[in-house]
Structure 1
Amino acid sequence: MWQTDLIVFNYLDIMKNNFNVFVASSAFSLLGIEIYHITLPLLALSLNLDPVQISWCVFAFYCPVIFIKIISSPFIEKSNKINVLKCSECGRILCLALFILLLTLSRDASFLWIMSVSLAYGVFTVFTEVAEPVVINGLIQGHASTSALSTYEIRTRAVQLVAPALCGYLISVNVFFPYSVNLLFSLLAVLLLFLIRIDVPQTAGPVHSSMGADIQQAFRWLRDNKLFTVIVALTALNNFLHPILYLTVIWGLKAQNTAFEITGLVLSGLGAGGLIGSFISRKVINILSLRQLVLFVNLARVLVFFGFLVFTDPVSIFVLFVFKAIMGGIWNVSYNVFTLQEMPLKLAARISAVSGTLVKISAGVGSLVAGYSLGFMGAELTLVILAVLTLFMLSGSFVYKKEYGKYHEQKAL
C-alpha cells in the first residue's frame, strides 16, 4: 500500500514540477507575443502610419485565427501538444528574424512588411493558443484547478505588467530593439519546453472522424450548453472593445505629444491591475456565485469605460486601466476555471478552438474597427460608443437565469 502511495505522490510531484516549468516557458512565450503586438502600433506610429494602416497591421496579427484556429484544432488535438508548442515558438523566432531583416533593408515598404510578417507570426501564435489549454488541462488533471489557474493567470498579468513599460522603453532606444529582445524570450521559452519530462497524452479520437465532423461536434456541444456560450459571448464582446479602447488611448496620448516611455507606463496599468485581479480572484470566486460575479464585473466595466470619457490625462488613464484590468483579471480566472471544468477532455481542443476563435475574431475585428472609427469619427465619439456597448454587455448578463441555477446545483453536488 505504501508503495502505491509513494508512486502516486511521485507522479503528482512530477506533474507539479512540469506545470511550474510549463508556466515559466509560457510566461516567456507570452511576453514575446505581448511585446510583438504591443510594439506594433508604437512601431507604426514611429513610422508615421495613419490610424487605418495601424489598425490593419494589428488586424493582420489577429487575422489567422479566422482561417487557422478551427481548422488546425482537430490535427493539434491528435498531436503531441508539447511538440506543437516547440514548433510554434521556433516559427515565431524565424518570423522575428525576418521582420528585423526586412524592415532594416526596406523602410519604404514598412507597411507591407509589417502586414506580411504579422500574418505569419499570428499563425504560429494560433497553434500555441490551441495547444496550451489542452496542455494545462492535462497537467493539472483537475486537481486544485482554481489554484493552478490562478497561478497561470498571475503569469499572464505579470507579463502584461512588464510588457508595455518594457516596450515603451525599448522602442525609445531603437524601433527594432523590442523585437531583438523578443528573440531572446522565445529562445528561453523553447529551452524550458525541453525540460518538461512527461508528454501530455494525445487525445484519442475515432479514426474515421473528419475535420468537419470534429468541428460540428464542438458546435453541437456549445449549442447544448447555453451558459457556456453566454460566458464566451460576453468575453468576446469585451475583447472587441479592448483593442478599440487601447488604440484610441494610444492615439490620444500621441495627440498630447506624450513620449513613448510615458505611453508604455500608462499601458502597464493593464498589467498592474490584472496582477491585482489575479491575486484576489480566488477569494472573489469563493465569495460570489458565477451569476453575481458576471453582474459585478460588467457593472464595473460600465463605470470604467464612462471614466475614459471624463478623464484624459496620463495619470487618470493609468488608474482607469488599473481598475479595468482588475475586473479583467478576476474575469479571466473565473472564465478559465469555468470553461476547463465544463469542457469534456475529449472535446477540449475543439471547444477551446471554437470558443477561442470567437474571442479572437472579436479582438481582430475590434482592432480593424478602431482605425476607421478614429479616422472618421475621432477619439471622443469612439469612446462614447464603447461606453454604450458596455451597457449592452451589462444587459446581457441577466439572460439565462435558469442555466446559472443549474450550474450552481451541479457544482454543489
Structure 2
Amino acid sequence: MGDWVSTSDDRVPSRPDRPFPTGDWSLDGVVMHGLYHRRGAPGIREGVACWNGHLLWQWEEVEPSLPEVNPPLLSPWNLVLAERLAMTPGATPYGDDAAHWANAWKAQALLRGWVPYASFSLDGPDALSWCERAGAAGLIYTFEREEYVEEGRLRNDRLHIIAGRSQTYGELFDISSIVTRYRAALPRDLAEAQVRPLEQHRDVPVATYVSATERLLERAPRAVQGLTLGHPLEMTIMHVVDSVPIVVALRSTADPGDAATLPAEALWRPPVARLERTALPRCRHLGDHEKIGAAGSLVLAGELLAFVQAHWPAELLSSTVRSVAELGTRGYVLATAYTHYLITPIPARRLLSPELHDYICCLLRGLGRSPESLHLDAEVNRAFLQSI
C-alpha cells in the first residue's frame, strides 16, 4: 500500500469554530482534513474523506488507467456529504441534526455549481428564498409540501425540492472522454451497456430527471446516475464492476445450468480482482472459534457493534442491538448485518479492516454460519435484483 496523497477540493467542510477534539488521522504530522487517495490492491485505489482528523468515510474505486477527466461537478464529497456518511457518528461536521445539515448542504451545493442534481427539504422561508435564487443559478426544480410531526403536531410548512441544472449532459461533461474511460476500464459488452445511454444523453438536460412523482433517475443506467449525482467516474465504474454477478466463479463449474441463466458478463473476471478482495480469511487457531464479548477481544467487540449498527437493514432498524452483551445473545444479527454489508454497492460500502474481517468470519463459524455461504447468498441475491 502506498502513502496517502491529498486531493484538492474546495468543498471540504470547514473546521469547527467551537472547541472540538481533533482525530488521530494525520499525514506527516499534519491533521488530515479533506480528500486523500492511495494505491490499494491491483487495479484499485483507496480513498478517504477526513474532517478535522476524523475519518468520515473510506472507499475503493477503480485505479485510473487514463488521465482523470473529472470536472468540478464530480467529487466524492457529493456522495459523502449528501448521504452524511460517517464512520464515527459523533465526530462529524453534521452536528446534532444531520438530516437538516445535509439538506442545507445540498441546497447550497446546487446554487454554487458543485452538484448537477439533488433532492432535499427546506423549511418554508428557506425554501422560498432558495427558489428565488434558483433561476439565476441555471436550475430547474419541482417541489411539493412535506408533512411531518413536530412536538405532537402535524405540520406542512416544509417543501421537498428536486432540482437539476438546465444544461445538457453534453454541455456539462466531456462525454467523449468519459466514454473512452469506460471502454478502457470495462470489457466491451459491459462498457457498451453504459456508453450507449451516455451518448444518448448528450443533448438531454439534466433537469429531465426532475420529477416529484416519477422516480426516473432510479431506473437510469449507472453511468447516467453517477454523472447526475456528481460522483467521480472512478467511483461509478467501480459501482458498475461491483454489479456484475460472480456466481459462476463462486459456484462449482460442474453445474453447467448456472451459466445459462446468467448474463454473459457473469463469466468475466473483473480486472480489479473482486474475488481476491473478498477472499475470506481462515481461522488461525486450533481450538474453539471466538465468542462475542470474550476477554481479550473487547476492542474488536466494540468495533463489531459499530459495524452491525452501521449495516443493519433500515426496515429492521427498530430491532438493532445496542450493546455487545445484547449482540452476544442474538448471534443471528451478525449474519444479517454481514449479508447486508455484502450486498451494499461500492462505494457506499464501509471498508472492513483485516482484523475485524478475521474476527467476524471466526464468530460466524462459531455460530454455525458459514461466511462462504453468506457470500454466495449475497451474490445470488444481487444477481436476482439486477434481473428484475
Which structure has more RCO (C-alpha within 8 Å, separation ≥ 6)? 1
Q: TM-score, normalised by structure 2?
A: 0.26
Task: Choose between structure 1 and 2: higher helix proportion.
Answer: 1
**TM-score, normalised with respect to structure 1:** 0.25
**Higher-strand-fraction structure:** 2
